[in-house]
Amino acid sequence: KQEVTQIPAALSVPEGENLVLNCSFTDSAIYNLQWFRQDPGKGLTSLLLIQSSQREQTSGRLNASLDKSSGRSTLYIAASQPGDSATYLCAVEIGDSNYQLIWGAGTKLIIKP
Amino acid sequence: DGGITQSPKYLFRKEGQNVTLSCEQNLNHDAMYWYRQDPGQGLRLIYYSQIVNDFQKGDIAEGYSVSREKKESFPLTVTSAQKNPTAFYLCASSIQHRDYGYTFGSGTRLTVV
């Protein structure tokens, strides 16, 4: 059974630092991996989607990598800003159920001014 | 602007009462989903629908029911059989194709009083 883990559960860093969020999954048979952002009490915003054949995707200050063989993905945030404070969730789309996403519990990120 | 609208934002349910959460999308997406989010846990799939008049149970369907009479609408009813309904409920939609990502609504917070 596919399981997705995000460590750490919470992270606090000073503004301006570069940081890495981690996501690991137990079964490499995935279709894609997605990173989302969730602000308190709000819905999810899609950040990046990496197809299983890709190694990385970039959007602005965000870069997500995927290593299927090791079951890992990282979300790199460059030059962090207080507005980046949110919970970041990763999810993998698996192949044994139609359109089934398996979710990590998220990393709560706080950027201190 | 295209998007997903969930209502109400906050909902209070008395013991033994059924309540219905609304989800409407104007994105012309074929697939729609309902997720439940509890603190410290990943999102869990309740029901999903890939086409009008058809829907499938997710991992935690017991105590919930849905309908898909129109492409734009996918309401979720939380019945009295759901013994622990207090949670944050998220509706999502997607194009009927892998690797195109998901759009989420802003959520409904349901509390049992």
pLDDT tens sequence across B77-86: 999 888 899 9
Cβ separation of A31 and B102 shorter than 8 Å? no
The pLDDT-based confidence of B98 (bands split at 50, 70, 90) is: low
The predicted pLDDT at position B42 comes to 87
Cβ separation of B43 and A93 shorter than 8 Å? no
Spatial distance between the Cα atoms of B97 and A80, rounded to a whole number of angstroms: 33
Average pLDDT in chain B: 92
Percent of chain A with pLDDT over 70: 96
Percent of chain B with pLDDT over 90: 75
The predicted pLDDT at position B99 comes to 65
Average pLDDT in chain A: 93
Q: Which residue blocks in chain A are alpha helix, DSSP H?
A: none
**Smallest Cα distance from A50 to chain B, Å:** 8
The predicted pLDDT at position B11 comes to 94
The predicted pLDDT at position A99 comes to 63
Those of residues 44-103 in B touching chain A at CB distance below 8 A are 44-45, 48, 50, 56, 88, 90, 92, 94, 98-99, 101-103
Query: Quick check: helix, strand or coil at residue B85?
Result: coil
- What is the dihedral angle through the alpha carbons of A101, A46, B25, B28, rounded to the nearest 10 degrees? -90
The predicted pLDDT at position A66 comes to 97
Cβ separation of A101 and B45 shorter than 8 Å? yes
Kindly state the average pLDDT of the residues A84-111. 88
The pLDDT-based confidence of B101 (bands split at 50, 70, 90) is: confident
Q: Is the pLDDT of residue B27 over 70?
A: yes
Is the sign of the CA dihedral B22, A44, A58, A29 positive or negative? negative
Spatial distance between the Cα atoms of A89 and A21, rounded to a whole number of angstroms: 10
The predicted pLDDT at position A100 comes to 77
How far is CA B44 from its chain centroid? Answer: 11
A7 interfacial to chain B (CB closer than 8 Å) = no
